Structure 1
Amino acid sequence: MLYYALVFFIVAIVAGVLGFGGIAGASAGIAQILFFLFLVFLVISLVMGVIRKA
């Protein structure tokens, strides 16, 4: 998931440099959503790991 967030971020940067504002904005939004989902799943995974060890 983090890989796809980085891919969409790079697409947003390239599209922004080339002047495609709509595509850049959409790609940046998707990258942001994927990154926050990754963070949520990371925290859930860490909490579940601590609970299992206890």
Structure 2
Amino acid sequence: MPQLNPNPWFFIMLTSWITLSLIIQPKLLTFVSMNPPSSKTPTTPNTTPWTWPWT
């Protein structure tokens, strides 16, 4: 049963993780967030309860 032989699959997995860690991840981390978090305190909206006409 060839699927139990870990030699080719382990190499493929290791190569893909190294590629992700060393090449793709640093490129993705250089992007600036388009919506940076603000230092404002969140305000709670003033809500009024809905009056249902049938109750």
Structure with the larger helix share: 1
How would you bin the TM-score normalised by the shorter chain? 0.3 to 0.5
**TM-score (norm. length: structure 2):** 0.44
Between 1 and 2, higher relative CO (CA 8 Å, sep ≥ 6) is seen in 1
**TM-score (norm. length: structure 1):** 0.44
Structure of greater Rg: 2
